Amino acid sequence: MRLFNTLTRTEEDFVPADGKTVRMYTCGLTVYARGHIGNFRTFISLDVLRRALRHQEGYGMRHVMNFTDVDDKTINASQQAGVSLREYTDRYIQAFREDCAALGLESVEENPRATDEANLKAMVDMIGQLTARGHTYESDGSTYFRIATLPEYGKLARLDHEGIQAGARVDSDEYDKEDARDFVLWKATKEGEPTWDYGCGPGRPGWHIECSAMALRLLGDGPIDIHGGGIDLIFPHHENEIAQAEGATGRQFSRFWVHVEFLKLAHEKMSKSLGNVYSLQDIIDRGFRPSSLRFLLISVHYRKQLTFSFDILAQADAALTRLTDFLARLERATEGEAHPAIAERVAAARAEFRAMIASDLNVPGGLGVMFELLREMNAAIDAKGMSADDAALIRDAFEEFDRVLGVIALRRAEDSAPPFPADEIDALIEERRLARRNRRFARADEIRKDLEARGILLEDSATGTRWKRK
C-alpha cells in the first residue's frame, strides 16, 4: 500500500514498523459543540484508511482517537453554559458517539479523554522530560516550549525559519501560521478555570501537549506508524506535537502523517467559527440518510477539497440507491449454469479495486470499478446470462469492496430499521396483494401512496413485492 506522507510530501510504500500491527493516532473532536459534516469528512476518510489497512491489507490495528475535552474552547463554552467542564463535554462526547454509529465508523481501540488522570500525568511527565533536555522555560506560572532549542521545528508545515519568532510566546491554543513562536505547555491557574497539579504547578495543559502525551502513552515509544487529522491541524497543532514528542524522547514521533482536505460550503471552509456548518441532524432533517452523506464524503479523494451542496448530496443518494437496487436485483438472478466469463470479470474487478485503494486510498477510482462492474452485470442479467452461482460471486465481491467503504452495509442497516414497525409494513403489503387480486385497485393504490407518504417505497416483481426506505 502506498500513502502520501505530509512529512516528505511524497507517496511512500507503507508497512507497519513491526510488519503486523498498525499503531495509528488520529485527532478526534474538540467537544465544545456537536461535530459538523466538515469534521466528519476527516473522520470518515480516516475510517476508510483504517478499514483498508485492516480488511484489505490484513494488518492488526492499534488505533487511538482522542477527545479534546479541555482547551480554550471547551472551557469558554462550559462557562457560558453554566455547567462543569466534565458535564458539558460529556454531552458532546455522547453526541459524537451517536453520530459515528449513524455514519458507520468502526470503533477504534482507544478513545482517551485529555482530562483522564493517567493522561494528565503523562503530559506532566513529558513536560518534565522536555525541561530536563532544556526545551522549556517558565513565565508567570506557565511553562513554555522554546522553539529555538529544536532546529528541525517547522519541518512538517515547511515553515520559513526567518519568520519564526523565537523568544516571543503565545498562550492561545490556536493561532495563525504567521505566529510561529514559543507555545504554552502548561497554563497557570486562572480564576474560574479547571485546575490540576501533578508536578508542574496548579493549572491545566495546553492543547498541543495533550495529543503528544496520549499518543505515546497508549501506543508506546515512537515512532508510531501513522498520525492523521484534518489539513488545518498541520500547523500549529501537529507541528507542535512533533516538537514536544521528539524534544522529549529524542526519537521520531510518527513515520507517516496523513491529512484530509477541507469540506467547502459556497467556496468557504466549513467551520463552527464561521457559523456555516451543518450537523448530521441537519442532514437528516432535510430528508437525507447518513449513508448518503458517508457516500458523498468518500466520493472525492481525501486530498482534494470537496464542495458540499444538497444537490450533490441527492446525487450521492441516487448513486447509493443504484448500488443497493442492483444487489437486490441479483437475488432474482437464477438463470442456468455459471458463466466462466463472469467469474473472470469479477476477479479482475476485485484486483482493480484493491489496486485503487492501495494507491493512496483512491476511493473515487474504486467506486468507478464498482459501477463499471454493476453496469456490465446489469447487462448480463438483461440478457438472461446470469446464474445463481454468478450472482453469489458478484455479491461476495461487493461485500469485499464494502468492507473498505462501509456504505452498503450502512444503507442496509438503515433499511432494516424502518420508520415504523416492519410487521405493520408486511401486513399492509399483504392487504395490498389481496386487494389487487380481488381487483380493488383503488384500495391497493391507496396503500401504496400511504406507505410512500410514511417513507416506504414498494417495488413489484414477478417474485413478489419488496419494500425499501424512501
Q: pLDDT, tens digit, for every residue of 357-391? A: 999 999 999 999 999 999 999 999 998 889 999 99
Residue type, position 30, single letter: T
Whose cell is 458517508? That residue is 294
**Residue among 57, 123, 55, 112 nearest 89 (CA):** 112
Distances (CA, A) of 54 to 1, 61, 269: 12, 7, 31
Angle at 311 (CA atoms; ends 308, 313), nearest 5 degrees: 60
Residue 166: strand, helix, or coil: strand
**pLDDT mean over 48-56:** 98
Of 13-27, 59-73, 235-249, 270-284, least confident by mean pLDDT is 270-284
* Grid cell at residue 361: 486510498
What per-residue confidence (pLDDT) applies to 160?
Answer: 82
Mean pLDDT to the nearest integer, 255-274: 84
Q: Which residues, 6 or more positions from 427, have their beta carbon under 8 angstroms from its beta carbon? A: none
What pLDDT was estimated at residue 272? 67
CA 244-247-253 angle, 5° bins: 70
φ, ψ of residue 163 to 5 degrees: the values are -95, -5
pLDDT at 469: 76
- Between strands 263-265 and 306-307, the pairing is parallel
Q: In angstroms, rounded to a whole number, what is the distance separating the alpha carbons of residues 267 and 251?
A: 40
Per-residue cell: 454: 410514511
What is the predicted pLDDT for the residue at 335? Answer: 72
Strand-pairing partners, residue 362, are none
126, three cell numbers: 513529558
User: What would the grid cell of residue 426 be?
Assistant: 408486511
- Average pLDDT score over residue span 7-11: 98
Pick the more confident residue, 177 or 317: 317
* Res. 353: pLDDT tops 70: yes
- What's the CA gap between 72 and 425, in Å, rounded? 50
Q: Can you spell out the DSSP letters for 48-114?
A: HHHHIIIIIS--EEEEEE-BB-SSHHHHHHHHHHTS-HHHHHHHHHHHHHHHHHHTTPPPPSB--BT
End-to-end CA distance of the chain: 38
Question: Whole-angstrom Cα distance, residue 437 to residue 42?
Answer: 52
CA atoms of 50 and 225, how far apart (whole Å): 12
- Cβ atoms of 454 and 464 closer than 8 Å: no
Give the Cβ contact number of residue 275 at 10 Å. 6
Degrees, nearest 5: CA angle 88-89-91: 75
Q: 300 pLDDT exceeds 80? A: yes
How far, in Å, are 41, 340, 371 from residue 321 at the CA level? 21, 28, 12
Averaged pLDDT for residues 99-107: 98
Q: Across residues 125-130, what is the average pLDDT?
A: 98
Rounded Cα gap, residues 83 and 430, in angstroms: 53
253 near 239, Cβ under 8 Å?
no
CA nearest 33: which of 71, 97, 77?
Answer: 77
Please report the pLDDT score of residue 166 as a whole number: 67
Domains of the chain, by residue range, sit at 2-269, 286-415, 422-469
Mean pLDDT estimate for the chain: 94
SS3 120: helix
- Percent of the chain at pLDDT exceeding 90: 82
Q: Which of 269, 370, 257 is nearest to 324 (CA)?
A: 370
Please, what's the b/e burial string for 172-196 (b: 16 or more CB within 10 A of its CB; e: otherwise)?
Answer: ebbeeeebbbbbbbbbbbeeebbeb
Centroid of chain to Cα 460:
37
Give the right CATH number for 2-269 from 3.50.50.60, 3.40.50.620, 3.55.10.10, 1.10.3720.10. 3.40.50.620
Judged against a pLDDT cut of 70, whether residue 301 lies above it is answered with: yes
**pLDDT, position 267:** 66
**For 463-469, which contacts have Cβ atoms below 8 Å and span 24 or more sequence positions?**
463/332, 465/429, 465/432, 465/433, 466/328, 467/418, 467/425, 467/429, 468/324, 468/328, 468/415, 469/289, 469/414, 469/415, 469/418, 469/419
- pLDDT digits 0-9 by tens, 66-85: 999 999 999 999 999 999 99
Q: Which residue has the cell 519568520?
A: 163
Could you report the per-residue pLDDT of 305-350, keeping only the tens digit for each? 999 999 999 999 999 999 999 999 998 887 778 899 999 999 999 9
Average the pLDDT over 104-131 and give the result. 98
pLDDT surpasses 90 at 172? no
Question: Which residues on neighbouring strands pair with residue 460, listed in sequence order?
Answer: 465
Range from 55-69, 86-100, 174-188, 249-263 carrying the lowest mean pLDDT:
174-188
More confidently predicted of 267 and 201: 201
Q: What is the pLDDT of residue 402?
A: 98
**Mean pLDDT value across residues 431-460:** 91
The vertex-50 CA angle with 392 and 288, nearest 5°, equals 70
pLDDT higher than threshold 80 for residue 266: no
Stretch (H or E) spanning 73:
helix 72-81
